[in-house]
Amino acid sequence: MAGHLLAKGYALRVHNRTPSKCDALIQAGAQWADSPAEAADNADVAFGMVGFPSEVEEVFLGERGFLAAHNPPRIVVDMATSPPNLSVRIAERAMARNVSALDAPVSGGDVGARNAALSIMVGGEAASFELVRPLFELMGKTVVYQGAAGAGQVCKMVNQILIANSMVGACEALLAAKASGLDPHRMLESIAGGAAGSWTLSNLVPRMLKDDWKPGFFTSYLAKDLRIAAEQAKALGMHLPGLELSHALYQRMDALGHGRLGTQALLKVWHELHPKHP
């Protein structure tokens, strides 16, 4: 995502907890920063993309975070998946430093990031969204303003419920096909282009069929996202059985030590529960 901005001539300062992950960007012209605060100092826009809410707090609100910069950026953008109330808190803290904040979680996985084809869901001040929109459009194909601070994260919550529930359905369909004697590749050829077609069927089920569990998105991250969704649903007084099931299954995946595998590795839970149907 940073590479797409750099390729269009934007000046970047970059920071990562694993400095080697920035090597290619630095070779392409980006500058290294020793902390998020240094990266954000006197910048127009500071983008953060990390895994867990505690890390979002550190990057945005911590002692060496974006808002601790000597000359804070005009706009800070959280592109991780965070609780909506954390996005509101970041926006309030940012306002105290005369900074605008956007929450802009994404969907599309590793493929979408590499191909600048992400879907970006944005909450925060509408005027700030319009200022940052040209940068979002270098990273994604679908960029939609959802509303006030936290609205982007609520939209991502809905996205993750759909993704997780569709993965449950894909696992069950694949196992049913195999147990009934169907060639799973032929089965996929028939259904992927019909009414049952989905991003999961087209992109992740082929990985399942090759026992390819490499992550486009870590299982541990989806387990975290579903926990956020479950907490939000509870706060709204909603009972969502599909979410509750997928949350439990992905928590089990994480507990089994598969948190660093891709979300398609949910199939491993079924293999464990039904060893006669590999």
Q: Where in the sequence numbering do the catalytic residues fall? A: 156
107 three-class SS:
strand
Q: Is 79 left (phi over 0), alpha (psi -120 to 50) or beta?
A: alpha
Q: What is the 3-state secondary structure (H, E, C) of 176-240?
A: HHHHCCCCHHHHHHHHCCCCCCCHHHHHHHHHHHCCCCCCCCEHHHHHHHHHHHHHHHHHCCCCC
- Distance of alpha carbon 40 from alpha carbon 47, whole angstroms: 9
Sorted by sequence, the CB contacts under 8 Å of residue 174 that are 6+ apart come out as: 184, 205, 208, 209, 267
Amino acid at 10: Y
Amino acid at 92: E
DSSP for 151-176, written as a single string:
HHHHHHHHHHHHHHHHHHHHHHHHHH
76 three-class SS:
strand
Amino acid at 232: Q
What is the bridge-based pairing of β-strands 140-147 and 106-107?
unpaired
Question: Are 266 and 219 contacting, i.e. CB atoms less than 8 angstroms apart?
Answer: yes
